[in-house]
Structure 1
Amino acid sequence: MADGTNVPAPPLRLRVYQQLRQAIEQGTLSAGTRLPPSREHARALGVARNTVLWALERLRAEGYVQARVGDGSYVAPSLAALRSAAPARSLDETALSKRGRAIADTALRWRPPLVAAAPFRIGAPEVAAFPHAVWDRLARQLTPAERLLTSQYLDPAGLPALREAIAQWLLFSRGLRCDGHQVLVCSGSQQAIDLIGRLLLDEGDEVLVEDPGYPGIRACLIGHGAQARPVAVDDEGLDIAAGARDWPAARMAVVTPTHQFPLGVRMSLERRIALLDWARARDAWIVEDDYDGEFQYGAHRIPPLAGLARAERVLYVGTFSKSLHPGLRLGFIVLPPGLANAFASAKALCDRHSPGELQWQLARFITDGHLLRHLRRMRELYPQRQALLIDALAKATRGAVKLEASEQGMHIAHEVSGRRNDAALSGKAREAGVLLAPLSAYAIQSPRRGWLFGYAGYDAAALREAARRVGPLFAS
């Protein structure tokens, strides 16, 4: 009988089996009990005898029932231990291993957003303008041979065609010269950081992280047992001199030098060279997270840290979640050549490999020029939306919020002096239906306060409406 949710009821014979099994497991039919003859049982239940026989046969196959020739069916005597065992203890996170608890505790440090993107949530690209028709056409162009190939188990490092396409794209777009064999395809930048933590850090190792910085990186490192050590960020980026002085045992630094998250500053050339020198002198690693490096709107683009000389200890992390859309769940790491095989093995242990057809589509999307055309459109659209955001907020707040235009990125940070309770205002904005992240949410020790205004993924009407809703909160 249907239960009102359009889910069909299980077959009658299955329900008879389930009732008998439940009676045995709960002790209603104890171990060694003789079951009624199948005809009498069927008559009592009002079902056909074959229904009962099917249920009994299944219970015998599973070991719940034993048949005795000429004497009927009995509940298996061995099931007495099932009833005599102590009742099962309810399980919670205290049952996890030490490492498991550390990973579970990341929820205390980082909660990925689960609601749909809305102004002014950061990190959301424009997804409506993504060329879905082109993407779908590429999927239909997969030949039978290619479909068969991508349906097999694949190289965990990624399809060679995609790895080569990424390497060529990085040279053209970011000025980063690498070989396709150095590229490891992964499920976004978060998996990239996870793999790096697994392979390059031991429990207790110290890692320099930007303060304020991205909490998802810190949470991942701490989940692996590493110690995330905060280093202040100023107008030139992470202060590596202070980091080296305060944390001399650090074995890694994770940085966002092109567009520091969340403040938006660029790391100066002097700081980049000092960071590379630090890594060479300490045999340490540098992880460069170039999360939105494609979105630079000025006349000249700043190349990545990994493109400088003496950058052999830099692992470059990129993602298509911002340049295309986060639903793809595809990113990559450019590795020092000597680490490529080890990282491929670790990727295989995690999830074997990324989806084959998706990799093939992305490779074609890049090589056929669609990525270039899409990014050109976004590099025209995002500055327009940024300008609209600046104007709308200035008007809605009666000049109380004057955002400074930026030549890069997908959000603008607005700082305020003093120790203002930025989280409280963000809470009021949420009540008004606007997602406004407080800067304090990204700080460890940093006293910096303010808010982050994401604009890339929202049209003019949505940006103006969000500004109208939060305007009184700043103007009062």
Structure 2
Amino acid sequence: MGSKGQRAPLRRQQVYEQLRHAMESGHLAPGSRLPATREHARTLGVSRNTLLWAMARLQAEGYVQARVGDGSYVSPGLAVASGTVGLSALPTGLSRRGQLMAETVRQWNPPRQAASAFRIGAPEVTSFPFATWDRLGRQLSAAERRASAQYLDPAGEPALREAIAQWLWASRGIRCEAGRVLVCSGSQQAIDLIGRLLLDVGDEVWVEDPGYPGLRASLLGHGAQVRPVPLDDEGLCLAEAEARWPQARLAVVTPTHQFPTGVAMSLARRQALLDWARRQQAWVVEDDYDGEFQYGPHRLPALCSLPQADRVLYVGTFSKTLHPGLRLGFVVLPAAWVPAFAMARALSDRHPPGDSQRVLARFIADGHLLRHLRRMRDLYPERQRQLIQALAEVSDGALCLTPSERGMHLCCPLPDAVDDQWLSHQAAARGVVLMPLSRYTVAAPRRGWLFGYAGFEPAELQAAAQRLGPVWRHAWAAARRAGAPA
């Protein structure tokens, strides 16, 4: 009884935070009408009293307005900036570069809540071998622990750099020496370092459109001119990019599994990109964010593994292969650059955590990473199948996603004229994360929905699909009227 009493306030707080985030991020648009509390509580899977408590607090804080006889509405004056947490004004007193950094919140607002269906980019963490990880940590000798407690090499522990180099050769066909590997806190820090050391203010950078907002935000924060390049069924439209922005110094691509559309860059397009980099003395950043998750009989090699790829900087992360809480990733650089990159990292972050590096090195060397990935490569396709089935059932067969042999999410493209934000708002009101494809575009007219499946149990996928059941028919009918194929 005491345990149940302790859980109730926690659940109320979670519902409150979920609804507040939906309003601040624009999922629940200013001025939009909220569902009736009984229906809303039922779709969220909570008691009506829990929802009423959360709504009362939101009303007291100004997020919600109650209109007698007409229900509750999101406050019309709530500041929301283009799908991210809004700022009414940028802070004063910052430098020009500081202003650019502050502006990035308008471009990218990373999630801070626990992952729930259908959030993209969330790996399976329940199956992570925590016991094995803890055991490897306990096996560190006293001397190793003392060494890890000191200031360390900002480029990373030698054992981990060696393990990563060996892993890249075995898994992705990339030949590199350990001395070319720089350990960092995930791919976002790698992009930040590349922007700081390779770009001057005003330099042009090609990025994929649609593409990852966190990448664009980082580059914009460094004063780069970010040039959105459209995609076709072979990947980055290189000819258009060259014609429009011939002076670009850098191109950032996700060639194995384009984020977020899922397109794989063709071999011809890869080779053309490498030729461009060599001719222009430019650089290509390969973000291989989920390249380990390929489920077909034939795996696409990394761009960095091709001949003449000496101008490719390879960025990898353990946030998808293991879990994002680890905060470890890496970038493969020309050997001559590693000291400069290491010092740039040291200026802001000193070095990666010692114990975690040593444990990860053993985790890779002892074969645990390979075994974990094998389990995930079996698990994720099955969850993808369950997602497709659940969505088809709740939409009476109208929503039939195309299976993919790569990645952790599926993209459902829609006609360009469709408002893909509407269903996302409805999903947020029902406690479901459904990202619109338009959230990831700059100039591209593409529209669609993104469904993450990797990190969620079948029951959670089914429940999320069921919550959206009442609005599927309306949304799909609107898509058909706009010209979606039958």
Given candidates 371, 374, 377, the residue that maps to 2:372 is 374
* CA positional deviation for 1:129: 0.4
Summarize the alignment of residues 208-357 of structure 1 with structure 2, pairs less than 5 Å apart: 208-357=206-355
Q: Deviations over 1:422-471 (max 9, x none)?
A: 01210111001100000000000101100000000000100001111123
* Aligned residue type for 1:126: E
Q: Does 1:433 align with 2:431?
A: yes
- Give the distance between the partners of 2:377 and 2:141, measured in 1 at CA: 33
Tell me the equivalent position of 2:181: 183
| Bigger mean CA deviation after superposition, 341-350 or 215-224 | 341-350
* Aligned residue type for 1:143: S
Contact 1:314 1:336 in 2 (8 A): no
Tell me the equivalent position of 1:134: 132
Q: Does 1:470 align with 2:456?
A: no
* CA positional deviation for 1:92: 7.3
* Aligned residue type for 1:400: A
- Give the distance between the partners of 2:262 and 2:190, measured in 1 at CA: 22
* CA positional deviation for 1:128: 0.5
| Bigger mean CA deviation after superposition, 92-101 or 289-298 | 92-101
- Give the distance between the partners of 1:236 and 1:256, measured in 2 at CA: 12
Given candidates 91, 94, 97, the residue that maps to 2:92 is 94
Given candidates 397, 414, 417, the residue that maps to 2:415 is 417
Tell me the equivalent position of 1:108: 106
Tell me the equivalent position of 1:459: 457
- Give the distance between the partners of 1:163 and 1:178, measured in 2 at CA: 10
- Give the distance between the partners of 2:318 and 2:387, measured in 1 at CA: 25
- Give the distance between the partners of 2:349 and 2:312, measured in 1 at CA: 25
- Give the distance between the partners of 2:321 and 2:210, measured in 1 at CA: 24
Given candidates 178, 182, 203, the residue that maps to 1:205 is 203
* Aligned residue type for 2:333: L
Q: Normalized against structure 1, the TM-score is what? A: 0.80
CA-atom RMSD in angstroms: 1.0
Q: Deviations over 1:127-185 (max 9, x none)?
A: 00000000111111010111111111111100000000000001111111110000000
Contact 1:156 1:347 in 2 (8 A): yes
Structure 1, unaligned stretches of length 5 or more? Answer: 1-90
SS in structure 2 of the partner of residue 407 of structure 1 = coil
Q: Deviations over 1:23-69 (max 9, x none)?
A: xxxxxxxxxxxxxxxxxxxxxxxxxxxxxxxxxxxxxxxxxxxxxxx
- Give the distance between the partners of 1:208 and 1:273, measured in 2 at CA: 17
SS in structure 2 of the partner of residue 338 of structure 1 = helix
Contact 1:120 1:466 in 2 (8 A): yes
- Give the distance between the partners of 2:369 and 2:218, measured in 1 at CA: 30
Number of aligned positions between the proteins: 386
Contact 1:438 1:450 in 2 (8 A): yes
Identity rate, percent: 65
- Give the distance between the partners of 2:263 and 2:130, measured in 1 at CA: 33
SS in structure 2 of the partner of residue 95 of structure 1 = coil
- Give the distance between the partners of 1:114 and 1:314, measured in 2 at CA: 32
* Aligned residue type for 1:172: A
Tell me the equivalent position of 1:38: none
SS in structure 2 of the partner of residue 207 of structure 1 = strand
- Give the distance between the partners of 1:129 and 1:433, measured in 2 at CA: 24
The change in CA–CA distance for 1:92 and 1:303 in structure 2 (over 3 A counts) is closer
Tell me the equivalent position of 2:163: 165
* Aligned residue type for 1:379: R
* CA positional deviation for 1:213: 0.3
* Aligned residue type for 1:233: L
Tell me the equivalent position of 2:117: 119
Structure 2, unaligned stretches of length 5 or more? Answer: 1-88, 475-486
Tell me the equivalent position of 2:141: 143
* CA positional deviation for 1:114: 1.2
Q: Normalized against structure 2, the TM-score is what? A: 0.79
SS in structure 1 of the partner of residue 92 of structure 2 = helix
SS in structure 2 of the partner of residue 209 of structure 1 = strand
| Bigger mean CA deviation after superposition, 462-471 or 126-135 | 462-471
The change in CA–CA distance for 1:201 and 1:464 in structure 2 (over 3 A counts) is same
Q: Deviations over 1:326-351 (max 9, x none)?
A: 00000000112221121111111121
- Give the distance between the partners of 2:282 and 2:107, measured in 1 at CA: 25
